[in-house]
Amino acid sequence: MILAVTLGMITLIGFLNEKLFHLNYEISLLLCSVVIGFCLTLLISAIRKESVREFLQSFQVYNLEAFLMKGVLCFMLFAGSCRLKLSQFREQARPIGVLAFGCTLLGALFYGLLFYGIASVFHLPFTLPVCLMFGSIVAPTDPIAATSILKKFGLPKTTGFLMEGESLLNDGVGVALFVVFSGMVTAQASGGFIRIMLREIVGAVLVGGCVTWLSFLLFKNTRDKSGQIITSLFAVSAAFCICEALECSGAIACVVCGVVFSTLRDREEQKGRQWELQEFDIFWETLDVLLNSLLYVMLGLSFVRILQMPFVLRLSFAAIVCNLIGRSASLWIGTWLMGPLPDGYDRKGFVTLFTWGGLRGGLSLALAVSTAAFLAQETYVIILGCTYAIVFFTTVVQGLTMKKVFQSISRKRELKKI
């Protein structure tokens, strides 16, 4: 019932956006879902019948961790990365490495220190390890948001690829940082950052690469179009499950699956292989749109309920500002390590563009939700609420204005050339 109603909302919002609003599809889903969530809150408070209240409340309470981390994240990441090529990663290895590893680490540290200062001002029960853990939650940019929103206007090819590559690879870094800092919070041995990074990332790359290579042997030797789709679904889910069992990053493994699959497919086509994969491409594109739509509607419906939690509303602005400062500071340092900046950008323009393009999404929320197991309720509520605020701001405000920011930077670059 809930799934049917949610799909009905997605269909109606998509239709209204096409005919009336003309916004980015994902942003229209989020904004309209927030409005619906607000109306639901008012309706719940006005209705006295308990059974009806419980039914309506069920649309505002979603287990995002289960939906993403234990459910559909692997398929969303594969759908977003299967269009990338391994050769492109080799060409941009240095800047992508600096962005995905160095800037994510620095961003988490800067954000944690800034929020620790704010927590001290408000006399909140936040220790430095908790704040650093919070930084690791909001530091990784979101691959789903980046690929679905940022690619829809004319970014230069190399710049767009760097944004996409960073967001696809920094998940593992964020998860590793989260494990380290959450281990400090719970006073458990985390195993050390280097060891965790090796396990999370190197292990995921090996698993994802091996599973995809073996699955592709079946894929290329069958003409059954349905069988090809099922083989790709098996490869992604198998890589994710193996990584979960080995305590590697399932998210990174799924990205590797997509990149390796795309590269092997491209290699076959260069050899003169003629095959029809239109149905395959349509399937993954449609699945990507569907899962993204469900995620944004879930976020929107639960947004009003989250902001009603204690301290959340007053701290949301501070959390957003800390996020922007931490992101820009990490990028400024990172530009000194990247070598020549792409597409002729100067340092100021590059930092501005990538700061405003650093959207956050489902992974941050899933990590925030997972802290409920070991944090005090007051601390957990603040972290979850502030993470929601950052995701909403980066998706809606930054997503809607990203094109204008890009055009403004481009105009300044043209004026300097004159």
pLDDT digits (tens, 9 = 90+) for 342-401: 888 999 999 999 999 999 987 888 888 889 888 998 899 899 999 999 999 999 999 889
pLDDT computed for residue 163 by the predictor: 87
pLDDT computed for residue 418 by the predictor: 63
Candidates 262, 254, 256, 296; CA nearest to 281 is: 262
Query: Hey, is 139 helix, strand or coil?
Result: coil
CATH of 66-417, one of 3.40.50.300, 3.30.420.40, 3.90.1150.10, 1.20.1530.20: 1.20.1530.20
Give the separation between CA 397 and CA 401, rounded to whole angstroms.
6
Do residues 58 and 323 make contact, with C-beta atoms less than 8 angstroms apart? no
pLDDT computed for residue 145 by the predictor: 64
Give the separation between CA 416 and CA 409, rounded to whole angstroms.
11
At position 197, the amino acid (one-letter code) is M
Q: Computed from CA positions of residues 201, 168, 356, 118, in that sequence, does the dihedral angle turn out positive or negative?
A: negative
Query: Hey, is 360 helix, strand or coil?
Result: coil
Do residues 175 and 249 make contact, with C-beta atoms less than 8 angstroms apart? yes
At position 374, the amino acid (one-letter code) is F
Residues near 341 by Cβ (< 8 Å), separated by ≥ 6? 335, 347, 350
Of the CA atoms within 13 Å of residue 219, those in its CB half-sphere come to 23
Q: Computed from CA positions of residues 208, 214, 215, 221, in that sequence, does the dihedral angle turn out positive or negative?
A: positive
Give the separation between CA 30 and CA 294, rounded to whole angstroms.
10
Q: Return the domain boundaries, the chain.
A: 66-417
| Both tokens assigned to 165 | 């590559």
At position 52, the amino acid (one-letter code) is V
Give the separation between CA 260 and CA 238, rounded to whole angstroms.
15
pLDDT computed for residue 86 by the predictor: 66
pLDDT digits (tens, 9 = 90+) for 110-150: 999 999 999 999 888 899 999 999 999 999 998 666 666 66
- Chain-centroid distance, C-alpha 327: 15
Give the separation between CA 283 and CA 317, rounded to whole angstroms.
40
pLDDT computed for residue 299 by the predictor: 86
CA distances from 217 to 220, 225, 240, 280, 383 (A): 6, 15, 19, 16, 45
The CA angle 69-328-325, to the nearest 5 degrees, is 85
List, for the chain, all residue ranges whose pLDDT scores fall below the cut of 50: none
pLDDT computed for residue 190 by the predictor: 53
pLDDT computed for residue 160 by the predictor: 83
Give the separation between CA 418 and CA 414, rounded to whole angstroms.
7
Give the separation between CA 63 and CA 286, rounded to whole angstroms.
23
